[in-house]
Amino acid sequence: MKKSLLVLWLATLIVLTWCWWSWNVVEYNDSFVAIVKDCTDSTQNLFDVYQTDSSVDSILDTLNGCVDVCQSAQEKAAKLWDFDKDSSLKDAVVSLLSAEVEYLKKFWESSRYWNMENITDEDRVAYDWFINELQQLEDKLNDQFLSLQQVQELFAAKHGLKLE
């Protein structure tokens, strides 16, 4: 009888540990998804305003708010724990958000060109250089999104998480 109770107790413990582990890894992943979503939603709103609103002040206000949201998201992500001593997902999210903030700050700098009607040859060289730099940051950001996707898939496989 004691052996049966011990086996039943151990089986229950294993099931409960597995359920806790599964719930914990889902919650961990979902926390990062929500953090990234806050930033990307804010960035999408910025570009919606940029495309529909002709007021530079309105765009800059939205842009400043977006930078704040993304920096806050980056700080939240950096403060989360490592899952089972695995920081890969956290590191990838922080890198992505860092690239997003860097891009947004460079985009803010582009505002000096938004209302230029006549651009001199000297300004054209500076503008072309600036746009090239902005494009490089956009490429880096896109690479970070792809990298995060790969890291998330590897993390999920390693920890038994089914991604949607």
Evaluate if residue 33 carries a pLDDT over 90. Answer: yes
- Taking only the tens place, the pLDDT of each residue in 94-125 is 999 999 999 999 999 988 877 777 778 888 88
Evaluate if residue 8 carries a pLDDT over 80. Answer: no
Backbone angles phi, psi at 86, to 5 degrees: -115, 110
| Residue-level pLDDT at 116 | 73
| Residue-level pLDDT at 43 | 95
Q: Which residue has the higher pLDDT, 24 or 35?
A: 35
Backbone angles phi, psi at 83, to 5 degrees: -85, 115
Tokens 């922080």 belong to which residue? 94
Evaluate if residue 42 carries a pLDDT over 50. Answer: yes
Average pLDDT, the chain: 84
Evaluate if residue 34 carries a pLDDT over 50. Answer: yes
Q: Which residue has the higher pLDDT, 10 or 127?
A: 127
If we measure between CA atoms, which residue out of 98, 134, 111, 128 comes closest to residue 63? 111
- Spell out the residues 6+ positions from residue 58 whose beta carbon is closer than 8 angstroms to its own: 49
Evaluate if residue 13 carries a pLDDT over 70. Answer: no
Evaluate if residue 9 carries a pLDDT over 70. Answer: no
> pTM of whole model > 0.85?
no
Evaluate if residue 1 carries a pLDDT over 80. Answer: no
Tokens 């490429």 belong to which residue? 139
Q: Which residue has the higher pLDDT, 149 or 22?
A: 149
Arithmetic mean of pLDDT, 82-105: 94
| Residue-level pLDDT at 84 | 85
| Residue-level pLDDT at 54 | 67
